[in-house]
Structure 1
Amino acid sequence: MSKTDFLSFLVPPLPYFIEGNFTTYQKGDWHPNRYNLGYFDVIIIKEGLLHIGEEDEAWKVSENYALILEPDKHHFPIEACTGQTSFYWFHLQTNSTWRAQSSPNPITPSSPIPELHFHSEHTTIHLPKFQKIINPHELFSKLDYLLASTLKPRKLALWETQQTFVNIFKNLEYDENYKNSSAKLAEQIEIYLKQNYKITITNRDLEAHFHVHQNYLARCMKAAFQRTPLEYLMDYRLDQGRSLLLQTDWSVQQITEETGFSQASYFSKCFKEKFGMSPKNYRQQYWKPAN
């Protein structure tokens, strides 16, 4: 373990994105040698290895690992790249209090926020200085989106870039309620299923997307939600179908297609198994004729 294991930020205000890019080094290339950069430098390796030092500490940052270098310290390469190395990097800064710590201890604000009305609480966000990325594919997609947003017209880029950055910042956060990597993965699977329930999803699709064996995906979901990914997907699709039966006058065939089922007969069969009646009878039970 390094002497500094966490970088802790008092929020609000939230840290903000300055700049970033995706860089590839070839064999023999060296990472820059820098003093007092002035902002945090976050490095996330997609392929290869960087051997980086900061003051009297050193890390071998390999594929799917992230390292955060501090703004007021000297960081430098320890070895040249031994092979092609590709990585995302971005700089961030904060106008709030931050602290390098060996454990995730809260920071006490010097001036508390008034509590007369609706208000934002001060809290402390902890980022591990060096960590393995739990779901690299998802994070890489967000980073690609972040970098693409910076190329848009200035006004649009301002909001889109900073909003995307907040999501990335959250991905890197240490959350004591989710110390277990399997719980984090289950949460990511849930988000993916809810975002993509209208399309065909198989265990092989999930395996390819998350780069984790389908058996492990199933164990994570069962531990968190008591259902496998496909069982969760089925329940979510049926819940969406039930809402559409009550809120629209769409035909069962339309609802079948909208909720990701391949055939109306299969949708009706699954619906009856869960809710005890056919989609048509379910709608009639709650439907009231207009006066």
Structure 2
Amino acid sequence: MILLKQGTHQYGTKLIAAGTSWIYAHFYIGKIVKSEVLDFPLDSSSITLPKMVRNLLQTDFSQRLKQVIRLSESNKTLCKNRVSSAFQSILLDLYEHGKPALQKDLSDQILDYLQCRVSDTLSGREIEQDFHLTYQYLTRTFSEKNGMGILQFHARLKMQAAARELRSSNKSISSIATEFGFSDALYFSKCFRKQFGISPSEYRKNQIFDAFFC
């Protein structure tokens, strides 16, 4: 498992961004004494960690990893065992944190993915790479439950989110178009009209009218 700090760009070359740090966790097979941190002995049982764990910003995993690093730099008695125990505790909690996503079916995982990336411009190729499955299989599975293909559904989510911005903000139509991945405000208006039957400016005007007179 690779733990990457959100917002920090990682490059696969020697040109590493300033402030990036690498933490290597080395595993070995051997006898480990009873944990000083956990309340049960460490044994040979194993679990399979999820491939990706999301929504960690509101957790304490970052602080706990820093604590493990501080422990690893100490020469105090039993520190190595404390490091092993603390790190295993983090991995077990990551497993628990990731379980709800594992229990969701593929269609629900795709839906979560689309909602998280509603402002992005997606392609079938990119979705294939993120899910490690063919786009044809993914969109067929998704459409069986949702009645439309992935990119079509994503376009609908994008327009719905843009409509919320038109209702709740004073942003210009061109800035909203840019926010949702449209380089051309005219094309954005065309897509919006296709979804709602009216232009973004007409939609906003109707919302203001309804707020004052309905």
Quote the RMSD (CA, aligned, Å).
3.6
What is the match of residue 248 of structure 1? 169
Cα distance between partner residues in 2 of 1:244 and 1:208: 30
What is the match of residue 120 of structure 2? 199
Whether the 8 Å contact between 2:118 and 2:158 is mirrored in structure 1 is yes
Correspondent of 1:210 among 128, 131, 142:
131
Whether the 8 Å contact between 1:252 and 1:264 is mirrored in structure 2 is yes
What is the match of residue 65 of structure 2? 151
What is the match of residue 115 of structure 1? none
What is the match of residue 272 of structure 1? 193
TM-score relative to the length of structure 1:
0.45
TM-score relative to the length of structure 2:
0.60
Correspondent of 2:154 among 233, 242, 247:
233
- State yes or no: 1:261 paired with 2:182: yes
What does 1:33-44 correspond to in 2, within 5 Å? 38=41, 41-44=45-48
What is the match of residue 87 of structure 2? none
Identity %: 26
- State yes or no: 1:190 paired with 2:117: no
Correspondent of 1:141 among 52, 56, 62:
52
What is the match of residue 128 of structure 1? none
What is the match of residue 86 of structure 2? none
Correspondent of 1:219 among 124, 133, 140:
140
Aligned length: 156
C-alpha displacement of 1:22: 6.5
DSSP 3-state at the match of 2:47:
strand
- State yes or no: 1:282 paired with 2:203: yes
For residue 216 of structure 1, what is the amino acid of its counterpart? Y
- Where in structure 1 are there 5+ consecutive unaligned residues? 1-20, 26-30, 45-87, 89-138, 155-160, 179-183
1 or 2 for the larger relative contact order (CA 8 Å, sep ≥6)?
A: 1
More strand by share: 1
Whether the 8 Å contact between 1:198 and 1:258 is mirrored in structure 2 is yes
Cα distance between partner residues in 2 of 1:210 and 1:253: 32
Whether the 8 Å contact between 1:245 and 1:283 is mirrored in structure 2 is yes
